Copies of this chain bind each other. A is one copy, B any other.
Amino acid sequence: MDVITFGESMVLFNPDAKGPLRYIHTFSKALAGAESNVAIALARLEHNVGWFSKLGDDEFGRYIECFIRGEGVDISRVIKDVTKSTGLLFKERFAHVNPNVYYYRKNSAASYLSTDDIDYEYIKSAKILHVTGITPALSESAKETVIKVVDYAKENNVIVSFDPNIRLKLWSIEEAKPVILELCRKADILFPGIDEAEMLLGISEPKEIIEAFHEMGPKMVVLKLGKEGCRVSDKEEEYFVNGYTVKTMEDSVGAGDGFAAGFLSGLLRDKSLKECGEYANGVGAMATLVKGDVEGLPTYDQLLTFIDKKEYVDR
């Protein structure tokens, strides 16, 4: 396996029109989940990827399995729990503000993920382990699991990639901060956003942020700067990599996951640090061009064409 990742994927119900949900008559089913987004992005970029989570042994869980496996991701380590439900979320979209999200994930199967559910040999088989700051927010046992798997990976020379993904709907910043910082310290590659850096470190100057994170441990810090692009550093080199101007952003959800996948893909292909940053910017930008978390994610050929021509070209 090139990359292994795990974390909760949910069935997403999208309203068929904008406005308050009470006036919406029909909803369409889709997939949501930061870690499975990264996995699918990497699979489309031709890497061997594994993803797992704990799912309810119900039709929603089977939908998630079929979708992710269909994208070419190994799901052999997914765990099914007949006594629990698969988590759901509903979006409420408006033209003028960010969508609202209604979660039905409390006590979901995934929140019962525990250290006993892990196939450690499988973890060891990966070049890179990718985790996010969402999983430790789900439950105490999920938090323990993330930390134990990360520790296990480090002990076994698996590179640890960490995207803080601080979700204040799931826990308070007071609860989140020590856990996220602990995982930052354990990570080899870190994907903070500028807002997250401010919440965690209280500083907002990019160069300072990178330095501060390096001091905590990570060898690679990839600071996301939104449309501006990103700043990448491996302690030896440091670059600002210009972003892409996307005139017709359709859906920003999933962009950060695509970004991380783009960077990891560059690493796995032994690209230079700067090229890794360009891949990250490219996949992130392309993800925003199509509605849905994963629908706009590019193949490797499409990514190269996009970076080259700065435009999206489906072959």
Binding site for B on A (CB under 8 A): 13, 16-29, 57-60, 62-63, 65-67, 69-72, 82, 85, 88, 92, 94-97, 100, 102, 104, 106-107, 246-248, 250, 289-292, 295-296, 311-315
A82 to B25, CA, bound (A): 24
A91: shortest Cβ distance to chain B, in Å?
11
Given A57-B315, A59-B20, A62-B22, residue A104 in contact with residue B92 (CB < 8 A): no
A68 to B61, CA, bound (A): 17
A82 to B16, CA, bound (A): 26
A64 — nearest CB in chain B belongs to which residue?
B22
Q: Is the CB of B28 within 8 A of A25?
A: yes
Q: Is the CB of A71 within 8 A of B60?
A: no
A238 to B100, CA, bound (A): 40
User: Main secondary structure on chain A at its contact with chain B?
Assistant: loop
Q: Is the CB of B289 within 8 A of A96?
A: yes
27 of the cross-chain contacts (CB-CB < 8 Å) are A16-B26, A17-B291, A19-B295, A19-B296, A20-B62, A20-B314, A21-B60, A21-B63, A22-B66, A23-B292, A23-B295, A25-B28, A25-B29, A26-B27, A26-B28, A69-B70, A69-B71, A85-B102, A88-B88, A88-B104, A92-B314, A94-B312, A95-B248, A96-B246, A96-B312, A97-B311, A97-B314
A104 to B23, CA, bound (A): 21
Given contacts A21-B63, A22-B59, A27-B27, 19 further A-B contacts (CB under 8 A): A13-B13, A17-B291, A18-B250, A19-B295, A20-B295, A22-B60, A22-B63, A23-B295, A24-B29, A25-B25, A26-B28, A59-B102, A69-B71, A70-B71, A85-B102, A96-B247, A96-B248, A96-B311, A100-B314
